A = this chain, B = another copy of it.
């Protein structure tokens, strides 16, 4: 009975870690959405709240890290569980960095608000990039929650799209700057936002790769889309 009790407790600990990762993921996604909102509507209150909420993201990272260390030290998890925990440790680092990127976007929103606002960009490309990376993040977290790699290559494919969009946005900004050098400062701010969004895409892709490692036991980092596709289709 004692034994069963301990097992149940162990399961509950693992479940709690997984739930916290999903909570952190949800929070981080909300941070991205709010940062975009702050940017597009030049809303300083929204920007402030994104910056403030970053401490919640950070606190979750520290807490989940501690939980993982405790589980490893006390439960001596077997292969599958250990892989899950090591994957969580990596995932939360990427989630925390996504949170940092959202904060950077919010800071640009603040700067635009404080500027003379002569050239406020329309952020058409940024909006489309952000909706793509949010889809990527959601797919990765969903794959994590269900331990299902079916859609993970989709994340990698979308990451290439995001990179293309980043390059297109950059070309467009260069055109703006050449046409009217007074837009240079503002264009650079937009460029930093585009860069932050592109990074978010990278982090979402990293998480997808960790899920593949956890479920398939195969490390697909630093490989091609083709290798990723082949590995996820293996039964």
Contact = CB atoms under 8 A, between A and B. Distances in A.
A215 interface: no
Given A55-B222, A68-B86, A178-B184, 8 more contacts: A69-B82, A76-B76, A86-B89, A89-B89, A177-B181, A178-B181, A181-B181, A184-B184
User: What is the count of identical protomers in the complex?
Assistant: 2
Interface residues of A, number: 33
Contact of A90 (B89, B170, B184, B222): B89
Interface of A: 55, 58-59, 61-62, 65-66, 68-69, 72-73, 76, 78-79, 82-83, 86, 89-90, 93, 170, 174, 177-178, 181, 184-185, 188, 191, 195, 219, 221-222
Contacts of A65: 86, 219
Contacts of A86: 65, 68-69, 72, 89
A83 B181 CA distance: 52
A15 B188 CA distance: 46
B82 A73 contact: yes
Nearest to A173: B188
